[in-house]
Amino acid sequence: MHGESILVDIGLATVSATLLAYVARMLGQPLLLAYIGAGLLVGPPGLGLVHNEHEIAELSELGLAFLMFIVGLEIDLKKLVSSGRVGALVGAIQVVLCAVMTLGFAMLFGFSGLPALYLGVASAFSSTMIVVKLLSDKSELDTVDGRLTLGILLMQDVLAIVVLALQPNLEEPSLIPIGISLLSGLGLVAGALLASRFVLPSLFRYVAKSPEIVLISAISWCLIVGYLAVLANFSIAMGALIAGVTLSAFPYSLDVVAKIRTLRDFFVTLFFVSLGMQLHIGSIQIVLTAVALSGVVIASRFLTIGPALYLMGYGARIGTLCSLSLAQAGEFALVIAALGLSLGHIGRDVASILVLTLVITSTLSTYMVMANHAIAHRAVALLKRLGITERAGPAAPASQAAEHEVVVLGFHRAASSILHLTQGSDHRHNLLVVDFSPEVYGELQAMAVPIVYGDISNLDTLEHAGVEQASIVVSTVSEDFLRGTDNITLLRQVRRLNPRARVILSAETFERARQMYEAGADYVILPRVETARAFVDVLEAAERGELDVLRARAIADLADRKEILA
């Protein structure tokens, strides 16, 4: 029965979140607000329909794990390391200075001792869950400010581990637990990297022809490293990030990202619903204190991150974008507050202030990130009037397929012949293939032909492959060989991502070709018609007595033809 009550509670949380999401969509509000509101409504603060909020909160941590796993799969390790050095320094400066600022605020509001220290330190950490989700949805994780923000968040996680290690013995701090945690973390990273170098490649190659096994293998790797991270006193999110980074260079990473997103979104929704359930508003004083603390948290990010990045040569715009992304209290505030409650360091009032501050700042930062570039533009203009000129920071990387004018969806015999016929032409350079055959992937890589490993039936795969940047999209695969999709569905997905692209498809019947044209295809090739035309040409050559010439030409062509697919 306990399991049944948990299932019922999860169902109530999901349904309430869905209903409020519809309301938020109609009102043009962030979905984050709807999910938190759903937790308030059905949880202990509201109707009290859900009683297993702690179990749901633990389950929802999988959302953060999957989120960080996807981040690890998508990032370029070399770029992250280059941005990570700056991010680590800025993150350390930000955490220390923000903690001092909020500590001073707490003392002004009458707090002292450990309660003031908890308010100051816990508010210095931003929300990895919220920041990464917002930037991922806007496709800004691989921008300069996105990578810097991720570097700052990673440094915050390291410092949060130091705080959590110190908490149990605040009266007599010991460096031994911290040293053990850091050594364990380094061992975890080294072990994961060794596994990704010597074990995982063979394992994934063995199952590469089965996308389902590739997916569950990747999820299993994420959970294994996450569990080892928890054993090393790190967060499961950090373990998931390490797992994702170790798989990021694999050709299968894009396909895993595309398929795991739905799973991530469900658990992320539970995370925010559980956050709303943890709200306990005892008095108006708690609400007013949380509102004032929220203002201090947001202001502290702009006063620390922006100036630090500007002095390091990244300019006011990058500094503003990073400050906007990190302008909220994070989930570590909840962890620190929960541990402080269990240790008797703080009371329920301080914990409630931290939770309410997280809700307020998370909601406000969602709006700010949605309009981050407009805000940054105005901030740069204002600073310019004050005499602070903008600096030219590093340029953001181009989209994965920005340099490829033609994207070929699926690699079958016709695509193989296209590749052969375009040898030495500009078309070859401008062509990008999307396919999930490991053999095709290896052959094309050896030929230096750009290819993305992924399932073309998945919209996220097309998005990550950069279809929105393509001038021409081609699907040569017969619908007899397509699985989980068809050419009209592919056409609609391409049009959704890139309305300007010219889409060329293949059809087996006249009726299907007419349907494709009606659906908006720019051109439809009927192989039976093209074959018939070739036969007519050969018949006419035979009538003219030129068949032997055509025969010799065909034999010579077969002798020289070396295609990937015979």
Residue 103 vs residues 152, 173, 217, 297: alpha-carbon distances, Å: 21, 19, 45, 11
User: What residues are paired with 408 via a beta bridge?
Assistant: 433, 474
Q: Are residues 374 and 324 in the same domain?
A: yes
Mean pLDDT of 338-348: 73
d(CA 322, CA 305): 7
Neighbours of 113 (CB within 10 A): 10
Q: Are residues 161 and 264 in the same domain?
A: yes
**Given this model, what pLDDT does residue 48 score?**
82
- Give the three-class secondary structure for 471: coil
Tell me how many degrees the CA angle 509-514-519 measures, rounded to the nearest 5: 125
Residue 509 vs residues 144, 408, 411, 528: alpha-carbon distances, Å: 49, 21, 21, 8
pLDDT at 562 over 50: yes
Residue with tokens 């500007």: 310
Q: Are residues 381 and 289 in the same domain?
A: yes
User: What residues are paired with 524 via a beta bridge?
Assistant: 505
Q: Are residues 349 and 454 in the same domain?
A: no
In a domain, 202, yes or no: yes
pLDDT at 307 over 80: yes
pLDDT at 399 over 70: no
E strands, 303-429, in order: 406-409
In a domain, 398, yes or no: no
Q: Are residues 435 and 296 in the same domain?
A: no
- Cβ proximity of 234 and 182 under 8 Å: no
**Given this model, what pLDDT does residue 503 score?**
93
Q: Are residues 125 and 241 in the same domain?
A: yes
Q: Are residues 149 and 202 in the same domain?
A: yes
Q: Are residues 463 and 380 in the same domain?
A: no
Beta carbons within 8 Å of 222's beta carbon, 6+ residues apart = 65, 66, 69, 239, 240, 243, 244
The number of distinct structural domains making up the chain is: 2
**Given this model, what pLDDT does residue 171 score?**
55
pLDDT at 311 over 60: yes
Beta carbons within 8 Å of 318's beta carbon, 6+ residues apart = 144, 145, 148, 309, 393
pLDDT at 100 over 90: yes
Q: Are residues 368 and 509 in the same domain?
A: no
Which tens digits make up the pLDDT trace of 27-37?
A: 766 677 788 88
Q: What is the CATH number of the domain that holds 102?
A: 1.20.1530.20
Q: What is the CATH number of the domain that holds 518?
A: 3.40.50.720
Q: Are residues 437 and 540 in the same domain?
A: yes
Mean pLDDT of 310-320: 83
Percentage of the chain modeled with pLDDT above 90:
13
Query: Nearest Cα to 214, choosing from 259, 244, 171, 175?
Result: 259
In a domain, 565, yes or no: no
In a domain, 315, yes or no: yes
**Given this model, what pLDDT does residue 139 score?**
67
Residue with tokens 């990937």: 564
Domain that holds residue 276: 2-385
Mean pLDDT of 12-33: 83
Reduced 3-state DSSP string for 477-536 = CCCCCCCCCCHHHHHHHHHHHCCCCEEEEECCCHHHHHHHHHHCCCEEECHHHHHHHHHH
Q: Which helix (H) or strand (E) holds 312?
A: none
In a domain, 268, yes or no: yes
Last residue of a domain, one of 385, 420, 443: 385
d(CA 92, CA 115): 22
- Give the three-class secondary structure for 371: coil
**Given this model, what pLDDT does residue 402 score?**
46
In a domain, 400, yes or no: no
Q: Are residues 150 and 208 in the same domain?
A: yes
For strand 431-435 and strand 502-506, is the pairing parallel, antiparallel, or unpaired?
Answer: unpaired
In a domain, 396, yes or no: no
Which tens digits make up the pLDDT trace of 233-280?
A: 676 777 887 888 888 778 777 777 777 777 777 887 887 788 778 767
Angle, in degrees to the nearest 10, between helices 315-325 and 372-385: 140
d(CA 239, CA 422): 45
pLDDT at 350 over 70: yes
Which tens digits make up the pLDDT trace of 454-512?
A: 778 777 678 777 788 888 999 988 887 776 688 888 898 888 888 889 999 999 899 99
d(CA 423, CA 415): 13
Q: Are residues 152 and 84 in the same domain?
A: yes
- As a whole number, the mean pLDDT across the chain is 81
**Given this model, what pLDDT does residue 79 score?**
55
pLDDT at 308 over 50: yes
In a domain, 391, yes or no: no
